[in-house]
């Protein structure tokens, strides 16, 4: 059975909604962000000191739930850069906070992925402003939404 990108994006979005809270902590950019990690889902999880609970194991995407203490996040790896970007473009419509590396993404609460950035490196991205009340898109400006 072949999984479509829409189904994978929907599965990722469900995971984001289930695991992401509306964080308002200011993580900010840290001067001590390491070089962005690379590798398989298992090697990235090992670097982040989590035991991945594999949820999706397809040719184009591998996705797992990682738990470290009380924190949960989704870690996903992709076969291609294009597949990763297409997945992100669809998933970000559902809000959430994304730590993005080469062919991998971590999705979770803002404070969780910000802390994870100190281990895995990567770039922080934020989902839709309409799905992240209190997120950086919404700081101090209602943007006409009243």
- How many residues are recorded in the chain? 146
With both helix axes pointing from N to C terminus, report the angle between 81-91 and 5-19 in degrees, rounded to the nearest 10: 60
Read out DSSP for 83-108? HHHHHHHHHGGG--EEEEETTEEEEE
Q: Higher pLDDT residue, 129 or 126? A: 126
Please tell me the distance from the alpha carbon of residue 5 to that of residue 35, in angstroms, as a whole number. 29
Pick from 7, 16, 13: nearest CA to 113: 16
Could you give the 3-state DSSP secondary structure of residue 68? strand
Query: Quick one: pLDDT band at residue 140, thresholds 50, 70, 90?
Result: very low
CATH of the domain at 80: 3.30.200
Does 25 score more than 90 pLDDT? no
Asked if residue 119 belongs to a domain, the reply is yes
Note whether 106 and 120 are within 8 A (CB).
yes
Domain containing 113 equals: 40-127
Q: Higher pLDDT residue, 11 or 26? A: 11
Taking the CA atoms of the chain, what radius of gyration do you get in angstroms? 15
Query: Which pLDDT score is estimated for 130?
Result: 52
What are the tokens at 22? 């509306």
Across the range 77-87, mean pLDDT stands at: 96
Does 94 score more than 60 pLDDT? yes
Asked if residue 77 belongs to a domain, the reply is yes
Exposed e or buried b for every residue in 36-67, given b needs 16+ CB within 10 A? ebebebeebbebbebebeeebeeebbbbbbbe
Does 48 score more than 70 pLDDT? yes
Count of the separate structural domains present in the chain: 1
| Predicted TM-score (pTM) of this structure | 0.70
Query: Which pLDDT score is estimated for 18?
Result: 46
Asked if residue 74 belongs to a domain, the reply is yes
Asked if residue 22 belongs to a domain, the reply is no
Query: Which pLDDT score is estimated for 121?
Result: 97
Asked if residue 136 belongs to a domain, the reply is no
Does 10 score more than 70 pLDDT? no
Bridge partners of 99, per DSSP, are 106, 124
């Amino acid at each position: 059975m072949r999984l479509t990108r829409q189904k994978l994006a929907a599965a990722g979005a469900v995971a984001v909604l289930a695991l992401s809270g509306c964080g308002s902590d200011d993580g900010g950019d840290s001067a001590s962000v390491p070089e962005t990690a690379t590798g398989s889902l298992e090697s990235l999880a090992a670097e982040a000191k989590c035991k991945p609970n594999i949820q999706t194991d397809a040719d184009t995407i591998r996705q797992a739930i990682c738990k470290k203490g009380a924190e949960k996040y989704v870690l996903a790896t992709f076969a291609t850069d294009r597949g990763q970007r297409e997945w992100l473009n669809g998933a970000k419509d559902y809000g959430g906070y994304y730590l993005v590396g080469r062919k991998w993404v971590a999705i979770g609460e803002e404070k969780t992925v910000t802390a994870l950035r100190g281990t895995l490196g990567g770039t922080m991205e934020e989902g839709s402003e309409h799905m992240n009340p209190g997120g950086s898109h919404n700081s101090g400006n209602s943007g006409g939404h009243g």
